[in-house]
Structure 1
Amino acid sequence: MPVAIVTGASRGIGAHLVRALVSANWRVVALARDTGRLEDLAADVGAATGVPTRAVLPIGCDVTDAAQVSAAVGQALQAFGQVDLLVNNAGLNHREAPLWEVDAQEWWQVLTTNVKGPYLLTREVVPHMIASGGGRIVNINSGSGVRDNAESSGYNASKSALFRITGATALAGAEHGIFAFDLAPGVVRTDMTAVMAVHSERTEWTSPEEVARLCLALAGGELDDYSGRMVRAGADTVAELRARAGHLPTEARRLRLVPWGEDDPLA
């Protein structure tokens, strides 16, 4: 059975992905700071799917702490002997306000969690993937990373940075069988999105099942042509993505500067 590590697994999208992966016959290492919630998740998954709870290994881990990340990956390898998939899902947002009104520590913690976390996990996992012949990384990104927002500067900046982590991993890892993807989940109703003012009047939400379908397709190697690119739940279907694979424009679904025209010296 293949093995996945999922961060931010104790609630929201992370917990949904743990359940979906186990149902698809993956063993999952679930990481989060709240070990109690992880243990409850493991028990719930076992009861709901009929899969023994040993299919989920709950490990308390602060993804911004290099020592904890290294120890968690070590535990995963000791338990299962391999890591085939990394899902960097753990993330934070700050209070919605202009940049100069957000507490500096709160703003920087968003960058630390959303950027340093995926960096540390990727840095720790990829050498083991290379040694075993390859692997895949799914970074839970956002359309926020390609646009400005007056009241969400830290979150948007972190997701732009995550694009660069994905792209760098895809480029450097290609010769080693490493594939990396940005998966935008749309707007799933979670603890974080439910309290955001921008979504206060929202009546339509992206279903967790749509996110899981795309994640499983990426994890299973169905969409490797999208390595270094973004796919979005609620907008993309696996069938349409498969149909477009193989003839994608070079810059499609990547984060790039848009020149003013052919005469732009930055083009």
Structure 2
Amino acid sequence: MNYAGRYEGRAAIITGGASGLGRAVAERIVAEGGTVSIWDMNPGLEATCEALGAHGVRVDVSDADAVVAATAESVAALGKVDILICSAGITGATVPVQDFPIESWLQVVNVNLNGLFYCNRAVVPHLLANGYGRIVNVASVAGKEGNPNASAYSATKAGVIGFTKSLGKELAGKGVIANTLTPATFESPILAQLPQSQVDYMRSKIPMGRLGEVHESAAMICFMASEECSFTTASTFDTSGGRTTY
């Protein structure tokens, strides 16, 4: 489909945008006329930004002060920010709760939940100043249903859903819309963090019988981040092949 010009004049910050889903979204926003600042710790950040013509900031989203500094840098580079897409995340250990390393638990919470909060907290004032904004916080079907041996990931993604419902209601009527995406497992570099048995389990739970494709979730996010998404906020959009329908 041709959405040329859909993001004309719009500026987006995308966390985790150097690879996977974040990169696919960045590619589309740039292709559709927008400007993008990618936040990532990925070694390929500079190459991605050069390929897309995007601005880049190497930032650890679990560091609140670094997020504040990254926000100021991105706003200075882009002139403003209209869109925040938080797709940075990690899986953590794949073990039962009784064996779950405390260090891994804290790391997952710090990146997936605390880091997402820091990003939203830093960017929201700029969106309110514009009187316009779109926020997409990427969660997971694991946040709705829970995946065994993935307690930290499931807990943090459930937290993202609850956080975004609260935020969306706070911002309703102020020109800023906040929603969350709950994809099922899709082909992505993050799968390298998981044992094949866990990937096979998650595939088996999808009624369509396959993993998702990154472009399917990217297409949904690009709708959620656009002006077209104008009367849905504090809500959850699903790309799960029928696994979750609520």
Shift of 1:24: 1.3
Looking at structure 2, the residues matched to 81 and 69 of structure 1 have their Cα atoms a distance apart, in angstroms, of 17
The residue type paired with residue 28 of structure 1 is V
Gaps of 5+ in 2: 1-8, 204-208
Looking at structure 2, the residues matched to 187 and 26 of structure 1 have their Cα atoms a distance apart, in angstroms, of 28
Q: Is 2:148 the counterpart of 1:150?
A: yes
Query: What's the counterpart of residue 199 of structure 2?
Result: 199
Shift of 1:188: 1.5
Looking at structure 2, the residues matched to 21 and 29 of structure 1 have their Cα atoms a distance apart, in angstroms, of 11
Query: What's the counterpart of residue 3 of structure 2?
Result: none
Looking at structure 1, the residues matched to 11 and 234 of structure 2 have their Cα atoms a distance apart, in angstroms, of 22
Q: Is 2:241 the counterpart of 1:228?
A: no
Shift of 1:175: 2.6
Shift of 1:186: 2.5
Match for 2:45 among 14, 29, 38? 38
Looking at structure 2, the residues matched to 100 and 164 of structure 1 have their Cα atoms a distance apart, in angstroms, of 26
Deviation readout 1:4-62 (Å, 9 max, x if unpaired) = 1000112211111111111111101000113x4111002222xxxxxxx2xx1011000
Describe how 1:117-266 pairs up with structure 2 within 5 A: 117-194=115-192, 195-196=194-195, 197-200=197-200, 202=203, 204-233=210-239, 235=241, 253=246
Looking at structure 2, the residues matched to 78 and 186 of structure 1 have their Cα atoms a distance apart, in angstroms, of 36
The residue type paired with residue 190 of structure 1 is S
RCO comparison, higher one (Cα < 8 Å, 6+): 2
Does the 8 A contact of 2:40 with 2:60 survive in 1? Answer: yes
The residue type paired with residue 198 of structure 2 is V
How many percent identity over aligned positions?
27
Deviation readout 1:187-244 (Å, 9 max, x if unpaired) = 22112224343213747221111112111111113233331111122549xxxxxxxx
Does the 8 A contact of 2:188 with 2:214 survive in 1? Answer: no
Gaps of 5+ in 1: 46-52, 237-251, 254-267
Does the 8 A contact of 2:212 with 2:241 survive in 1? Answer: no
Does the 8 A contact of 1:210 with 1:234 survive in 2? Answer: no
Looking at structure 2, the residues matched to 162 and 81 of structure 1 have their Cα atoms a distance apart, in angstroms, of 28
With normalisation by structure 2, the TM-score equals 0.87
Alignment RMSD, CA only? Answer: 1.8
Q: Secondary structure at the match of 2:93?
A: coil
With normalisation by structure 1, the TM-score equals 0.80
Pairs aligned (count): 228
Looking at structure 1, the residues matched to 56 and 75 of structure 2 have their Cα atoms a distance apart, in angstroms, of 13
Distance 1:148 1:208, change over 3 A: closer
Looking at structure 2, the residues matched to 131 and 165 of structure 1 have their Cα atoms a distance apart, in angstroms, of 21
Looking at structure 1, the residues matched to 154 and 88 of structure 2 have their Cα atoms a distance apart, in angstroms, of 15
Does the 8 A contact of 1:87 with 1:137 survive in 2? Answer: yes
